[in-house]
């Protein structure tokens, strides 16, 4: 990251200062506010240089800001642990050695490069317990597990290459819903490959291992952001939202959803929009996601009890298609970030799928109010 690595070191330095000087009961508010202001400043600076000055942005800066977002996850996770007294740090050290024993695990966790490059979010307590016991009870050799997961990455990349080739050379008749859906699958496969590579990196370092108490084979899947087949098999938007980027979804739930008394779902997606960088496509994508998840809850609650087993299977199939189309709209809007993604959705009419769900949500809310 070059000089831009100072973004991460600055956040870490400020966080350690706050830990040493602020009362644990109010530390989360301070950490959350300062860290999000720091991250937002860099997001807005990138947008200003990219859209108003029309400057080319250094890839090093993009990498640093991406890592800064993951650092925000880690720092706020620890601040919540301190606030809720899940983690206790004895900071009244009488010597430099005792101070280092207290603070070095914290710094090591925050700047741990295996998760700083691409996630997933590992809890601080789990990180410390692994580091403390790795010499006494080391995990088994992860070589075979890493090899199998890398083979999955190669398979995903091969599928992505075939899809890209097909989209480039397809007949113009398919330029519509099918073409845009294929493009969204290509973009999602990039995420799945990235998560698998990050998972491999963490497994190679010994993270993500849980020993099964039943004596079965070792489980190396406890530190993962998602699996292609599990996520893509989701037949409901609410299922997809919980499974997509799983550790980030858990962090958002803990940070925002549980704490909000009013409109927790929309507040959670609104914060996700802020955390991601406030691009136009993010506004459309995140708010559409929130509205369609809310619609999914009401539609499923209204229809499922009235369906026979046969119709329930048909409903599940149609619901899967509906989920895929909505996710396509969200991915295109979020990934293309600007008006080009929104124009593509309007030209192909695929945006009618989330619109239909939102209209149906308002109808069901109106019926619930009447009856």
Spatial distance between the Cα atoms of 370 and 311, rounded to a whole number of angstroms = 27
Coil, helix or strand at residue 219: strand
Tokens of 275: 């955390």
Spatial distance between the Cα atoms of 244 and 164, rounded to a whole number of angstroms = 23
One DSSP character per residue, 99-134 reads HHHHHHHHHHHHT-HHHHTT--PPPHHHHHHHHHHT
Contact 192, 357 (CB under 8 A): no
Coil, helix or strand at residue 138: coil
Contacts 24+ apart (CB under 8 A), 156-161: 156/189, 156/192, 156/193, 156/196, 156/228, 157/189, 157/193, 159/189, 160/186, 160/189, 160/190, 160/193
Among candidate residues 44, 66, 63, 61, the one with its CA nearest the CA of residue 53: 44
With b for 16 or more beta-carbon neighbours within 10 A and e for fewer, the 109-131 pattern comes to bbbbebbbbbbbbbbbeebeebe
1 alpha-carbon distance from chain centroid: 22
DSSP 5: G
Catalytic (active-site) positions? 245, 276
Coil, helix or strand at residue 136: coil
Contact 60, 4 (CB under 8 A): yes
Rg (CA), the chain: 23
């Amino acid at each position: 990251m070059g000089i831009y690595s100072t973004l991460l070191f600055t956040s870490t330095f400020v966080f350690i200062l706050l830990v040493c000087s602020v009362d644990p009961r109010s530390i989360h508010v301070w950490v959350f506010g300062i860290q999000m202001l720091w991250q937002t400043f860099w997001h807005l600076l990138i947008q200003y240089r990219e859209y108003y000055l029309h400057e080319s942005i250094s890839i090093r800066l993009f990498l640093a800001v991406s890592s800064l977002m993951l650092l925000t996850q880690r720092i706020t996770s620890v601040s919540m642990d301190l606030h809720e007294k899940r983690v206790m740090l004895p900071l009244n050290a009488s010597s430099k050695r005792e101070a280092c024993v207290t603070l070095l695990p914290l710094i090591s966790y925050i700047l741990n490069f295996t998760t700083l490059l691409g996630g997933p979010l590992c809890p601080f307590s789990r990180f410390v317990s692994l580091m403390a016991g790795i010499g006494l009870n080391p995990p088994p050799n992860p070589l075979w597990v890493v090899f199998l997961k890398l083979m999955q990455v190669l398979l995903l990349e091969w599928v992505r290459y075939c899809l890209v080739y097909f989209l480039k050379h397809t007949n113009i008749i398919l330029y519509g819903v099918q073409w845009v859906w294929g493009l969204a699958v290509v973009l999602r496969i990039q995420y799945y490959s990235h998560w698998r590579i990050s998972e491999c990196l963490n497994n190679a370092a010994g993270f993500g291992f849980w020993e099964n108490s039943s004596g079965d084979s070792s489980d190396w899947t406890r530190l993962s952001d998602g699996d292609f087949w599990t996520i893509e098999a989701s037949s409901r938007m609410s299922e997809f939202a919980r499974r997509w980027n799983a550790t980030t979804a858990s962090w958002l739930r803990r940070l925002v959803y549980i704490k909000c008394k009013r409109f927790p779902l929309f507040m959670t997606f609104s914060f996700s929009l802020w955390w991601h960088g406030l691009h136009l496509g993010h506004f459309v994508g995140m708010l559409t996601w929130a509205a369609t998840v809310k619609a999914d809850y009401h539609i499923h609650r209204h229809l499922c009890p009235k369906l026979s087993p046969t119709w329930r299977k048909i409903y599940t199939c149609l619901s899967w298609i509906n989920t895929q189309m909505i996710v396509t709209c969200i991915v295109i809007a979020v990934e293309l970030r600007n008006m080009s993604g929104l124009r593509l959705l309007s030209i192909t009419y695929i945006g009618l799928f989330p619109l239909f769900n939102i209209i149906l949500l308002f109808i069901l809310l109106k019926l619930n109010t009447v009856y």
